Amino acid sequence: MQKQQKRQSSIERRRRRQKIFNRTIIVAMIIIIVVLTAVALSRPQPTPLPSYLSRCIPLKGPWAYREVFQLFIQINGANVTVPGGIGITSGGACVRPLYTFSNRGAIHVEPDQNRTFTLGDLFIVWGNTYGDQFGIFNQNQLFTFKTDSTHHLLMRVYHGNYNFTSTDYDNYVLPRDANTTSNPYAITISYGVFQY
């Protein structure tokens, strides 16, 4: 009888250990699922591209025209890097009509169709590459930064010794065909508190 009690006691201990093990596995699986779901939902979603921007152009062309200008961004007085890789497809086999190679702010406009692009088009491609928070630029917002009674957006266009403030924002027409009378050397977009 004592053997039988020991045996039953041993079986009950194994069952308890098995229950604890099973519950531990279930809790671990739930934690893993929750973490993976949180990561998946927190990843930036790409901005969808309209057909004229979703073109896949080989790096060596052919292009309808080629142009490069500089873009500088400041938020609350701090410089923001315009990243390399905007508009470069995975693997680098081809590029969008607007793209960047490096993080120096050089924006390449190299479409395969004779089409005019705007600064807003660049931000759409940026949002498609790095997440939709980067795809927003207009007179009221830059990325996630919105204008209000104290925070403003200022856009300056520079060519040579001539520069001006532009209120075209996302509708600003980008340079084309090396037309030096209308092509900017650089565009600076600033967000923050300004003394006018």
Give the model's pLDDT for residue 43: 63
From residue 141, alpha-carbon distances to 54, 191, 196 in Å are 24, 9, 19
Domain residue limits, the chain: 1-43, 57-192
Residue partners of 123: CB distance under 8 A and separation at least 6: 134, 135, 136, 137, 170
Give the model's pLDDT for residue 180: 46
Q: Are 82 and 188 in contact (CB under 8 A)?
A: no
Please list the rounded mean pLDDT of every run of 10 residues in the chain (196 residues): 71 85 87 75 79 92 90 96 93 91 93 94 96 95 96 92 92 74 78 82
Q: Is 138 helix (H, G, I), strand (E, B) or coil?
A: strand
Give the model's pLDDT for residue 22: 87
Give the model's pLDDT for residue 1: 62
Helices (H) and strands (E) in the chain, counts: 2, 12
Give the model's pLDDT for residue 182: 55
Per-position DSSP letters for 45-57, written without gaps between them: PPPPPPTTTS--E
Give the model's pLDDT for residue 3: 67
